[in-house]
Structure formats: C-alpha cells, structure tokens
Amino acid sequence: MGNKRSIALMIALAMGAWLLSGELVPSTLTAAEAENNVASESPPLVRGVESQAVERQDLLAVRGQTRANRVVQVKAEIAGKIEALPAVKGTRVNAGDLLCQIAVDTRQSELDENRAQLKSAQLEYDGVLDLKRRGLQSEINVAKAKAALESARARAKEGELALLKTGLRAPFAGVIESQPVEIGDYLSPGQVCVTLMEIDPMLVIGQVSEKNIGQVALGDEVRVTLITGDQLTGLISFISRVPDAATRTYPIEVTVNGSADRMRAGMTADMKVPVGVERAHLISPASLVLNDAGYMGVRIVDESNTVRFVKVEVVSEEADGVWVKGLPSSIRLITVGQEEVFDGQIVVMDLTPLVGLVRN
C-alpha cells in the first residue's frame, strides 16, 4: 500500500511540473507582437476598376394607367329611322367616315323646293332693283323683296343642313367602342348612334408627389413600360395645378403617339419621369456589399491603398449594371475580393479596365 501511494505522489508531482512548464498552455501574443506579425505579412491582393461618375438624368418611378385621348358619343341632330350602319362595333374608322345613315325621307324634295323658292326670290329682287333704278319702285318694296330673298336663302340652307345631318360621320380617326342601336331603330335628336374612341395618340395618367412636381416640365420625354412588357416613349402634355384631395399628389398626362397596336385603355403602366440631372456611377451589382450595420455600399481603395466602405444609394437598374450615387467623382472600386477585406486594411489592387460599364 505504501508503494502505491508513493507512485501516485510521484505521478502528481510530474504532471504539476509539466503544467507549470507551459507546454500545455499556448503562448499568447502581445498587441505589439501581433502588430509586428501583421506588418510582416504581405498585403492581400484585390482586383478593381477605376470608375468615373457621369451626369445622367434622374428618373422618378411613377405608376400610371393608360387612357384614351378622346372618347366621344356621336349623337343624332335630327330625327329619323336608321337605314345603314357602315361601321360596326370594334372597327377602326377614319375622320369623315360614315357611322350611321338616317333615312332621307322627304328632306331631298324639301331641299329642291327651297332652292326653287330661292331662285324665284332672287329674280323678284333683281326685278325690283331694276325698277328702283328707273324710279318706278319705292324703298319699301325693295326692302320687302330683299327680306323675302334672305328668308328663301335661309330655308334653302336649312334644307341642305338637314340633308347633310342624315349621315353621322366620324369627327376623328378611332375605334367604334359601342353601338347601342340597330338598323331600323328610330333616332331622336340627342340619341347616341355610336361611341367613338381615339386610340392614337393614347394617354398615360400618373400621380407625382408635391415634393417632385416642381421638377416636372411640359414636353419632357418619359419612358413608359406597359404591363405587357412593351416599352414606349411619350411627352408630358399636362401637369395639374390642383392636387388630389386624398393623396396630395398632382396628376400628370403623358401623350404617346404611334402606339395604337400595343396600347389599350385601362392598362397598368410604369413611367420613368425625368426630375433633374445627377452624377452617378454605373457599376456591377456584384460589387455591392453590406457592412456590419446593415447598410448597402461598396468597398473602394483610397490613395494610401487603404480599404474604405462607402454607403451608396441605387437609383436605377439596367442590363449593364446599376446606377449608384453617394460616391466621389473618381474612385478605385474593388470588384473581386471585397468580401475578404475590411475597412482600414492595406491592400494591393490589380486594376483592370471597366469594360461595358462606362457611358458618356
């Protein structure tokens, strides 16, 4: 038993000596030693590009809706039965095309009679004037003959208009949107024959906030993307001076020409409305990173080859990249290795040409 205790004591003493020797505890570096080690290491290599800010149009995204430029109800001005409907619902018509034909009935004969009376009144007036020149007619008879002539001329004109109004014609080119009557129906004055909608040009209606409305100008070119994916351009043709009472936004109208085959009234559309000029960089989306605070930005290398994180704001996206603002005019942007370095670190940058991302 004594031997066993002696052996155990010896083992305990040996282990204590080993632990005290520090062989089991890793040595810790002082701050100075760590700094010296870092300094002795080669700076990491990153790849980047030189980027120059360019002036570009600042575009405001506005959600809108398409609308017909004009919608008119073509109504009868005289009464009569419908004899023909040359343009049916859904068809395109040109300005001046016949839409509804009302029966002429006795209007042609009445016009012929009025024209004959006009001719007779003209002859009587000419005869009275001839007698007046010879001193055989009084001023009163001349005045009566002239009044009769003017009355006959008015009746003839009324007859011509009545005959003309039997044919209801398109006031402008468009599409027959509705046709509530049929051949044989009787039209009264003021009754609708067809509803005509103008489809070229078309309008896109949107709302701009009071913060930005002062930057919008008549005639500015607007890019329009329909819900179908079709992309069009138009010009701002109207800016309201009265805001919407509920939203405090101002309505604007964009006129789009030559889009009759692609636009229909009531379609959802996204507009890019110009609201000024700004300087921005066009960069690859892969260059964007998040810092520890959750802000989106990029990592650049300054004149002393030190990494700097700069917060940016994405203003628009394109096929070639994203436009960002918040950066200096000229930067060295890290494009490869930006996730492996940190703010304040010294690096070596391999600059490569910024192919496909530079625009004038």
Q: What DSSP string describes 168-186?
A: EE-SSSEEEEE----TTPE
Cα 71 to Cα 266: distance, rounded to the nearest angstrom: 13
Cα 9 to Cα 30: distance, rounded to the nearest angstrom: 37
- Give which of 269, 265, 232 is closest to 68, Cα–Cα: 265
Residue 351, H or E segment: strand 348-351
**Token pair belonging to 357:** 């991302």
Cα 201 to Cα 265: distance, rounded to the nearest angstrom: 11
**Architecture category of domain 60-69+199-277 in CATH:** Beta Barrel (2.40)
- Look at residue 8 in the predicted model and tell me its pLDDT: 57
Q: Where in the chain are all domains bearing CATH 2.40.50.100?
A: 76-103+166-197
**How many residues does the structure list for the chain?**
360
Q: Which residues of 295-322 are buried (b: 16+ CB within 10 A; e: fewer)?
A: eebbbbbeeeeebbbbebeeeeeeeebb
Cα 276 to Cα 60: distance, rounded to the nearest angstrom: 9
CATH number for the 104-165 domain, one of 3.40.50, 1.20.1300, 1.10.287, 1.10.150?
A: 1.10.287
Q: Where in the chain are all domains bearing CATH 2.40.420.20?
A: 43-55+279-351
Counts of helices then strands in the chain (DSSP H, E): 4, 22
| Domain 76-103+166-197 part of CATH 3.50.50.60 | no
Averaged over successive runs of 10 residues, the pLDDT of the chain (360 residues) comes to 55 56 46 48 88 88 94 94 91 94 89 89 89 85 89 91 92 93 93 94 94 92 94 95 91 92 92 89 92 92 93 87 91 91 91 48
Cα 261 to Cα 226: distance, rounded to the nearest angstrom: 13
Which residues fall within 8 angstroms of residue 286, CB to CB, at 6 or more apart?
335
Say which amino acid occupies 106: T
Q: Where in the chain are all domains bearing CATH 2.40.30.170?
A: 60-69+199-277
Which residues fall within 8 angstroms of residue 75, CB to CB, at 6 or more apart?
189, 190, 191, 192, 193
The rounded Cα 353 to chain-centroid distance in angstroms is 35
- Residue 185: phi, psi to the nearest 5? -65, 150
- Give which of 273, 274, 271 is closest to 231, Cα–Cα: 271
- Look at residue 327 in the predicted model and tell me its pLDDT: 93
- Give which of 179, 166, 60 is closest to 105, Cα–Cα: 166
pLDDT tens figures, 287-321: 999 998 889 999 999 999 999 999 999 888 888 89
Q: Where in the chain are all domains bearing CATH 1.10.287?
A: 104-165
Cα 234 to Cα 253: distance, rounded to the nearest angstrom: 10
Cα 300 to Cα 250: distance, rounded to the nearest angstrom: 41
The answer to whether the Cα torsion of 98, 104, 108, 110 is positive or negative is negative
Any idea which fold 43-55+279-351 has? 2.40.420
pTM: 0.64
